[in-house]
């Protein structure tokens, strides 16, 4: 069983930055592929960034060059550094852990004002 708790969301002006954190329970964290997803009102949930157990990263085109995903296996935590935020980045951001199944956090709201 894996539990994920996100933090770090909030309200920021366009061009600003936020860092999201996702703390995971369980000793198998270091084996998990971790990802950040987001869901805006009226839209489907979409993948933002992913990081493998060996820290190989991938990004959606709409965040490349602005967002950085990283992980700290000693702290069982994955991060999403978000820079140059745009109003269209406004969404609930969810942490995902893929091991034997998918686990989800409760989500954290990110609101970017213009």
pLDDT score at 44? 97
Strand ranges (DSSP E) for the chain?
4-7, 10-13, 18-24, 33-39, 46-51, 57-59, 67-72, 77-82, 91-98, 102-104, 108-113
Res. 1 pLDDT band, cuts 50 70 90: confident
Q: Is residue 12 very low, low, confident or very high in pLDDT (cuts 50, 70, 90)?
A: very high
pLDDT of residue 100: 86
Percent of the chain with pLDDT over 70: 100
Residues whose CB falls within 8 Å of the CB of residue 18, separated by 6 or more in sequence, listed in order = 8, 9, 10, 12, 82, 85, 110
User: What are 25-81's pLDDT values in tens digits?
Assistant: 988 888 999 999 999 999 999 999 999 999 999 999 999 999 999 999 999 999 999
């Amino acid at each position: 069983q894996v539990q994920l708790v996100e933090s770090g969301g909030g309200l920021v002006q366009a061009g600003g930055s936020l860092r999201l954190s996702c703390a995971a329970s369980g000793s198998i964290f270091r084996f998990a592929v971790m990802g950040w997803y987001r869901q805006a009102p009226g839209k489907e949930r979409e993948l933002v960034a992913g990081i493998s157990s060996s820290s190989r990263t991938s990004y959606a085109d709409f965040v490349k060059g602005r967002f950085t995903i990283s992980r700290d296996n000693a702290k069982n935590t994955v991060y999403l550094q978000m820079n140059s935020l745009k109003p269209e980045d406004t969404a609930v951001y969810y942490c995902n852990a893929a091991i034997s199944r998918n686990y989800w956090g409760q989500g954290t709201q990110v609101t970017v004002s213009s």
